[in-house]
Amino acid sequence: MAKCWLLLLCLAFLLPAACATCHPDDLRALRGLARNLRGGGAVHLRTVWSGASCCDWEGVGCHGANGRVTVLRLPGHGLAGSIPGASLAGLARLEELFLSSNSFAGTLPDALFGLVGLRKLSLASNNLVGQLSSRLSDLKNLTLLDLSINRFSGQLPDNVFHNLKSMEHLAAHSNGFSGLLPPSLSSLSSLRELNLCNNSLSGPIARVNFSGMPLLSSVDFTSNYLSGSLPLSLADCGDLKSLSLANNRLVGTIPSWIGELDHLRLLDLSNNSLVGKVPKRLTRLKGLVATVGHSPGMVSTNMPLYVKGNRRILGQQPNVISGSRNTIRSGSNNVVSGNDNTILSGNDNVVTGSNNAVSGSGNVVTERNHVVYGSNNVVSGRNNVVTGSNNVVSGGNHVVSGNNKVVTGG
């Protein structure tokens, strides 16, 4: 009787979410789940999951209006044993399931693929084994799937990814997946992050056509056995920030289109069998350790990228630029050496070499034949043309105009 009054009170006066009496099906499923979970954390859950207001239970989230359980977050909860598929399947409206960093073992229960409303599924860092079921294709609303750091094996099923048009983050790194890359990965048109590193995948990397993934930001295939040349389709991924293909069996040359990837911040092609010359546009990358040839040591990471043959608009981070005839259009705190460079604007640059044009303020310019505009520059060397204010100029044979300058030398 008291329960009924409480329910009426809730319905009449309070927000439904605050009184969330969860749906009887979900309550039954969660109680079953608690019974079937193993590990130290399961004992804890059986204690704290009490009463009938399951929407208030630890790790449980409900739809505000209808009291259906939509979220189950139990990462790092000390859970073990097999994943209780039948109990989970009772949570028919589940959208987010986070079971990462537990000690779940065994294979994935087939019932998991009945949770067709799932948007996010993370099972990372467990001891799960077996092949990935082609029933994955039933989870059409998935935006995130993380299977990383388990002991899954076998081929990634093909013909499952065609259906997963909402997938944004797909990670299955550090497992034992082997065999060929499934071409249906090419259909993941919403994909932003793809991490399959540290598996035993083999065959041509070009089995995946990246052209249809315009949002792709990060690709990590490090430490597999992928072969063939770098797929031209990657050139269509204009948002790519990170490309890690180290420790594979890639052949061919380093294509010049890599230099066209405007947002690239990390490129690691080390330990492959790439041959030939490093394209001109890549030679200015910081950390580019060696040309390829027979050297396995080519690596470039965290580059303050300036690869587009002087056409790049620099971001705000400091760049280190060497080489000749570079044009720096914007950006600060750059260190520039080489000849015939043009700094069109920007502050606090250090410029050495010859025949540079510098504007902006706070630049330090040494050596010869520079043209310097702007203020508060320190110029030394010879034969420089300096205009602007508050410049400090030393050396000889300069042409200096402007105000408040300090000129020493001849």
Ligand X SMILES: *[C@@H]1O[C@H](CO)[C@@H](O)[C@H](O)[C@H]1NC(C)=O
> Are the C-beta atoms of residues 352 and 367 closer than 8 Å to each other?
yes
SS3 387: coil
> Which of the residues 268 through 327 are near ligand X (CB under 6 A)?
271
- List the structure tokens of 229: 């040349």
Element (H, E) at 11: helix 2-13
User: What is the 8-class DSSP label of residue 30?
Assistant: H
Beta carbon of residue 273, minimum distance to ligand X (angstroms, whole number): 9
Instruction: Decide: is 38 part of the binding site for ligand X (CB under 6 A).
Output: no
Beta carbon of residue 257, minimum distance to ligand X (angstroms, whole number): 14
The stretch among 1-9, 241-249, 343-351, 360-368 that binds ligand X (CB under 6 A) is 241-249
- Looking at the DSSP assignment, which residues form a beta bridge with residue 179? 201
Instruction: Decide: is 174 part of the binding site for ligand X (CB under 6 A).
Output: yes
The stretch among 34-42, 47-55, 205-213, 257-265 that binds ligand X (CB under 6 A) is 205-213
Separation of alpha carbons 147 and 127, rounded Å: 10
The stretch among 9-17, 208-216, 356-364, 369-377 that binds ligand X (CB under 6 A) is 208-216
Q: N- to C-terminal Cα distance for the chain?
A: 102
Instruction: Decide: is 117 part of the binding site for ligand X (CB under 6 A).
Output: yes
**Ordered alpha helix ranges (H), 66-213:** 85-89
The stretch among 53-61, 83-91, 172-180, 365-373 that binds ligand X (CB under 6 A) is 172-180
> Are the C-beta atoms of residues 278 and 291 closer than 8 Å to each other?
yes
Of 222, 312, 224, nearest to 267 by C-alpha is 222
Where does residue 162 rank: exposed (0-12), middle (13-18), buried (19+ CB within 10 A)?
A: middle
Nearer to ligand X, 151 or 311 (CB): 151
Separation of alpha carbons 333 and 318, rounded Å: 5
Beta carbon of residue 197, minimum distance to ligand X (angstroms, whole number): 7
- List the structure tokens of 310: 């002087």
Length reported for the chain: 410
Instruction: Decide: is 248 part of the binding site for ligand X (CB under 6 A).
Output: yes
Beta carbon of residue 139, minimum distance to ligand X (angstroms, whole number): 9
Please report where in the chains the tokens 């090419």 appear, as a residue: 186
Tell me how many residues contact ligand X (CB under 6 A). Answer: 16
Beta carbon of residue 211, minimum distance to ligand X (angstroms, whole number): 4
Nearer to ligand X, 76 or 214 (CB): 214
- Site for ligand X (CB under 6 A): which residue of 116, 251, 289, 406? 116
Instruction: Decide: is 247 part of the binding site for ligand X (CB under 6 A).
Output: yes
Beta carbon of residue 213, minimum distance to ligand X (angstroms, whole number): 9
SS3 3: helix
SS3 113: helix
Instruction: Decide: is 233 part of the binding site for ligand X (CB under 6 A).
Output: yes
The stretch among 12-20, 122-130, 246-254, 379-387 that binds ligand X (CB under 6 A) is 246-254
User: What is the 8-class DSSP label of residue 232?
Assistant: G
Instruction: Decide: is 225 part of the binding site for ligand X (CB under 6 A).
Output: yes
Nearer to ligand X, 128 or 393 (CB): 128
Q: Where are the beta strands (DSSP E) in 76-186?
A: 80-81, 96-98, 103-106, 120-122, 127-130, 144-146, 151-155, 169-171, 176-180
Beta carbon of residue 212, minimum distance to ligand X (angstroms, whole number): 4
Beta carbon of residue 27, minimum distance to ligand X (angstroms, whole number): 20
- Site for ligand X (CB under 6 A): which residue of 133, 211, 283, 390? 211
The stretch among 46-54, 174-182, 305-313, 394-402 that binds ligand X (CB under 6 A) is 174-182
Nearer to ligand X, 176 or 238 (CB): 176
Sign of CA dihedral 149, 47, 92, 69: negative
Nearest-CB residue for ligand X? 117
The site map against ligand X for 367-406 (x = CB under 6 A) is ----------------------------------------
Separation of alpha carbons 390 and 362, rounded Å: 10
Instruction: Decide: is 229 part of the binding site for ligand X (CB under 6 A).
Output: no
Beta carbon of residue 50, minimum distance to ligand X (angstroms, whole number): 30
Beta carbon of residue 216, minimum distance to ligand X (angstroms, whole number): 12
CB atoms within 10 A of CB 303: 19
Ramachandran angles phi, psi of 88, nearest 5° = -65, -35
Residues within the interface to ligand X (CB under 6 A):
116-117, 141, 174-176, 198, 209, 211-212, 225, 233, 247-249, 271
